[in-house]
Chains A and B, each alone.
Chain A
Amino acid sequence: EAQVTQNPRYLITVTGKKLTVTCSQNMNHEYMSWYRQDPGLGLRQIYYSMNVEVTDKGDVPEGYKVSRKEKRNFPLILESPSPNQTSLYFCASSPGTGGGFELFFGSGTQLSVL
């Protein structure tokens, strides 16, 4: 089954404790992206990747890191999480960019930073 898999679904952590949210897609998509969803703000893009070893900042990259060593994986790293990073996070992938391509989303990771 074609899908984007994120783990974990739920995560509670404390300020400053490094964490990684994994994302994997099995559709051989070139484009992958991370979003955070906050009430009243919708989805805001954190980072995106056009291909292996190519990553770029989105609208809200501060406090996050990503890597794209393999085509299928695009982990999101919070080196020192803070409470303002409490949010619902989504990973997405797409065959390409430039319009007309559907974004496929994971089921989301609800992160709480205490």
Chain B
Amino acid sequence: GEDVEQSLFLSVREGDSSVINCTYTDSSSTYLYWYKQEPGAGLQLLTYIFSNMDMKQDQRLTVLLNKKDKHLSLRIADTQTGDSAIYFCAEGDMRFGAGTRLTVKP
């Protein structure tokens, strides 16, 4: 089947930028998503990007899409301790990556 891959862990200092990367294999995906899971909770949609875009910015979040390389990234500017969570990349038919656990150190 098609795979969505992410690194499992990322640790940054408060105030730094975080970049979470994702690769996918289904080139027909029209939408790609980032979901956030806080401890003890379900996933919540953070942002999404349409496949004909290469960048989307929403406040502290920037999504970059390289369709040729099937690479998606999520950049969080000025990362705060409240951003500590697991971040999931998902492609159009809701196939999810394994999730990247972001730890923000004060």
Contacts and interface: CB of A to CB of B under 8 A. Distances in A.
Interface of A: 4, 33, 35, 40-45, 59, 90, 92, 97-100, 102-103, 105-108
22 contacts: A40-B8, A42-B96, A42-B98, A43-B43, A43-B88, A43-B99, A44-B96, A45-B95, A59-B1, A90-B42, A92-B43, A97-B93, A98-B30, A99-B29, A99-B31, A102-B45, A103-B43, A103-B45, A103-B94, A106-B42, A107-B40, A107-B42
Interface of B: 1, 4, 6, 8, 29-31, 35, 40-45, 48, 50, 88, 92-99
Contacts of A106: 42
Contacts of B97: 42
Given A33-B94, A45-B94, 16 more contacts: A42-B6, A42-B96, A42-B97, A42-B98, A42-B99, A43-B43, A44-B96, A59-B1, A90-B43, A97-B93, A99-B30, A100-B30, A102-B48, A107-B40, A108-B41, A108-B42
Which secondary structure characterizes the binding site on chain A?
loop
Given A33-B94, A99-B31, A42 B88 contact: yes
A105 B44 contact: yes
A35 B88 CA distance: 14
